Amino acid sequence: MANVAVLGYGTIGAGVVKVLQTNEAVITKRIGEKVEVKRILDLRDFPGDPNEDKVVHDYAVIENDPDIDVVVECMGGVNPAYKFVKAALLQGRSVATSNKELVASHGAELIAIAAEKEINFLFEASVGGGIPIIRPMISGLSADEIESVRGILNGTTNYMLTRMEEAGISFDEALREAQEKGYAELHPEADVDGYDACRKIAILTSIACEAQVDYEDIYTEGISRITTEDISYARIMKKKIKLLGSSWKEDGHVFAMVAPFLLDEDHPLSGVNDVFNAIFVHGNMVSDLMFYGKGAGSLPTASAVANDVLDCVKNKGRNIKICWDPEKVELTDCSDSVRRFFVRMTADTSDEAIGASFGQVEKVELPGLDEKAFITPAMKEADYTRTAEQLEGIINRIRLD
């Protein structure tokens, strides 16, 4: 029998307990031993909960319980999660976590400790909720050089953009709806400003580069400037606006950014709606792959954590090698990257001024709206920015994929 301690009995932690208990019979058959939740750490009590007798309020109880084999961390945030996880690993206990902040900040160190101790530190659920993405990248593409990764990594903003498009509602209304449904927090900055997606693309890029990518280095732009007019323009251009976390290698340089992009309607990521997530991976041999599923929610995310727990049990005494060196990857500034931009300007801007600034643009007209809108030729971000700074009357600009 393997004993598990779950840190944090919130949405995901409670989900992990439910997955392990609901599917106990089939899990025991597959693993060859019973996997039991022995302790749950939470500051709260849970009177009436079937697992209430397992709840403890002090991590020391878990630390000092010699029966615990695997620690599940679903507390979120860096502290005290980092302290507890590191202590567990140093004790020789494998850890499964859903915590993107922890992995983005301390992944390399925790992976190294696990390797050293011949145990495991697994974090499938830290990106893409229930979608198997970390494991395929680590153990499913070992014959490939991963050249780019980009995806819809945040369910809240994808829900909002989907609602803005389908129901024609504004950003504020979409946010209110998302909050009512429990998809967005009262303070929604982590989602709408792209910080959540930023941590996740940092993790995926670290795996693709097999070395540390600091999320602080990643240019990050959220969706708060996207308006109903932008959505209408996108429809006319047969495109969709999606918040993408992207990273790619080019001539030995590594780029990474989070920003809303205009994607062609027939791009597979365009069809990813509501709270679903999807990640596009390009390998130099396998070409394009996409992984799609529920990026949030108690049970989907918990399924990924529980699978990591079972991998820890199956691989007792054997480290699953994860290539993620602590050595830092120096990202190349995104101002060097080249792409087209969709630009909206006030009606008083002359075509001549636009042509003189951007060259041969492709005009876009939204009936009933008195302004100038166009798609620029491919240009460096830096050149776009410099040009835009010299112009008055820019209403908004969105990058084209």
| Binding-site ranges for its own copies (CB under 8 A) | 19-20, 22-23, 26-27, 29-31, 124, 130-132, 135-136, 139-145, 210, 266, 268, 270-273, 278, 283-294, 297, 299-300, 302-304, 306-307, 309-311, 314, 318, 321, 323
Indicate the residue among 234 and 299 with the shorter CB distance to its own copies: 299
Which two structure tokens, joined as six digits, stand for 256?
């990474």
Cβ 159 to its own copies, closest distance in Å?
15
Indicate the residue among 80 and 168 with the shorter CB distance to its own copies: 168
Task: Give the helix ranges, DSSP H, for 98-194.
Answer: 100-117, 134-135, 155-167, 171-180, 189-192
Indicate the residue among 287 and 350 with the shorter CB distance to its own copies: 287
Nearest CA to 175 among 164, 165, 166, 167?
164
Cβ 251 to its own copies, closest distance in Å?
17
CA–CA dist 27, 303 (Å, integer): 12
Indicate the residue among 22 and 335 with the shorter CB distance to its own copies: 22
Q: Residue 317: is it exposed, middle or buried by C-beta count within 10 angstroms (0-12/13-18/19+)?
A: exposed
CA–CA dist 193, 388 (Å, integer): 22
User: Phi-psi region for residue 145, left (φ > 0), alpha (ψ -120 to 50) or beta?
Assistant: beta
Nearest CA to 72 among 16, 150, 34, 2?
16
Cβ 299 to its own copies, closest distance in Å?
5
The sign of the dihedral angle between the CA atoms of 14, 178, 188, 275 is positive
Tally the C-alpha atoms within 13 A of residue 84's C-alpha that lie toward its C-beta: 30
Indicate the residue among 141 and 231 with the shorter CB distance to its own copies: 141
Prior bond to 80 cis, omega within 30?
A: yes
**Catalytic annotation on 316?**
no
**3-class secondary-structure state, position 91:** coil
Q: What is the DSSP string of 253-272?
A: EEEEEEEEEEEETTSGGGG-
Cβ 383 to its own copies, closest distance in Å?
34
Indicate the residue among 83 and 318 with the shorter CB distance to its own copies: 318
Indicate the residue among 195 and 291 with the shorter CB distance to its own copies: 291
Cβ 48 to its own copies, closest distance in Å?
23
54 backbone dihedrals φ, ψ, rounded to 5° = -90, -10
Cβ 240 to its own copies, closest distance in Å?
12
**3-class secondary-structure state, position 57:** coil
Cα maximum dimension of the chain: 76
Catalytic: which of 200, 239, 242, 249?
200
Cβ 154 to its own copies, closest distance in Å?
18
Residues identified as active-site = 200
